[in-house]
Amino acid sequence: MGLPRSLTAKLAAQDITEPTPIQTHAIPHALDGHDVMGLAQTGTGKTMAFGLPLVTRLMEAPGRPDPKSVRSLILAPTRELAGQIRDALMTLVKDSPIKIGLVVGGASINPQINRLARGTDILVATPGRLLDLIDRRALRLDGAEFLVLDEADQMLDLGFIHALRRIAGLLPAERQTMLFSATMPKQMEEIAGSYLKNPRRVQVSPPGKAADKVTQEVHFVAKAEKPDLLIECLDKHRDELALVFGRTKHGSDKLARRLEQAGFAVAAIHGNKSQGQRERALAAFRDGRVRVLVATDVAARGLDIPAVTHVYNYELPNVAENYVHRIGRTARAGRDGTAIAFCAPDEMGELKDIQKALGTAIPVASGRAWEVLPDPKAKGRGGPRRGGGGGTAKPGAGAGAKPGGARRRRPRRAA
């Protein structure tokens, strides 16, 4: 593919000998100096798709960055993804003069300022902390020759649109830009227009497509019965790594305590945790000291832990595309994985949106779909209730539920 032998040797040492589809299509364009827009699902090797040509081009144009300047900038939406990008690139620049820096929120800013003072070849950053450093005059971007926006759609989801607009104005017009995303929302066209010039578009899977090796299933279960069903499911594979997704920070902590009481080695990560706490939790999960990680959508993208065998959507996401990103945390590096969703009565709307985004129905593992009845208080709107009559599968079956499932309740909107 035109990569230096020194890089291919480092890849071979990691047992990486064949490129993934996104790498096959994106790397040649990037090596030729073109802007690249890459669309691919999570877990398909996007980091190396931009990392290999970036490091190659820096090696071909040796030089030292000026103080407080960067030669290349990589923007990522979350601390976890930024850290993983840095770690992946470190394996490529080992024994070379190329220096990589990391600046993210949740960590002390003064050490970051001190490291930036010497100049940086590759800076991996989250948008908020990057602008903090620019406002403190600890960094400037006018010397950046290369720019990468990774998981750009999630940056929009997290409200970074204004930060991205401001950063675009601080970069030199003459540069090479690579933008990678799993989906292409309407606002992305604006971002692409601001950052890219005549880009080569690479798409290796339809937006919203789930990883091929993920086995999916859904349990229709009353909200109050979810903890017991989760414990029963987790108990079947205690020696394997499981990632459990909730919606809220408080709810994730509460669920983690419940699982700990049930005898599981568990940790929780979310936006209220400090950077140190999140890093320690992820390290313990990676090496198996923690077998169950409870997380909010802060971990839905970028987490690259190939040993994760099961992903549980304990609470369905409000944004259908996030379901795809969540289940993309398993079946990585060519392995198989299982994604299990729990659907309570007030989540039928979310489930329908998810299945629409997937273009297929998720197989039912237990229970039966909650019936959506008209809401007399809102014309044209409905709330989910349990369907009645017939069938042997009951909502919450296998979780100690009584036949017939949950009692009827007034419809509620999802939080």
260-276: pLDDT as tens digits = 999 999 999 988 887 78
281-319: pLDDT as tens digits = 989 999 999 999 999 987 656 677 888 999 999 999 998
313-343: pLDDT as tens digits = 999 999 888 898 889 888 776 678 999 999 9
Chain-centre distance of CA 395, in angstroms?
30
pLDDT score at 212: 64
Residue 197 CB neighbours (<10 A): 12
224 DSSP 8-state letter: G
Chain-centre distance of CA 352, in angstroms?
22
- The string of DSSP letters for 9-54 reads HHHHHTT--S--HHHHHHHHHHHTT--EEEE--TTS-HHHHHHHHH
pLDDT score at 218: 97
Q: Is 129 helix (H, G, I), strand (E, B) or coil?
A: helix
In the β-sheet with 364-366, what is the strand arrangement from edge to edge?
A: 266-269, 292-295, 241-245, 308-313, 337-343, 214-220, 364-366
Contact 259, 290 (CB under 8 A): no
The strand pair at 214-220 and 364-366 is best described as parallel
353-390: pLDDT as tens digits = 999 988 899 999 999 999 876 655 554 444 444 443 33
**Stated pTM of the model:** 0.69
State yes or no: pLDDT of 404 exceeds 70.
Answer: no
Q: Which residue has the tokens 């890849």?
A: 11
* Domains located in the chain, CATH noted: 5-203 (3.40.50.300), 214-386 (3.40.50.300)
State yes or no: pLDDT of 395 exceeds 50.
Answer: no
Higher pLDDT, 300 or 167: 167
Contact 125, 78 (CB under 8 A): no
- Phi then psi for residue 295, to 5 deg, are -145, 155
Contact 387, 207 (CB under 8 A): no
Contacts of 157 (CB under 8 A, 6+ apart): 77, 319, 322
Retrieve residue 45's tokens: 């090797």
39-81: pLDDT as tens digits = 887 667 899 999 999 999 999 987 889 999 999 999 999 888 8
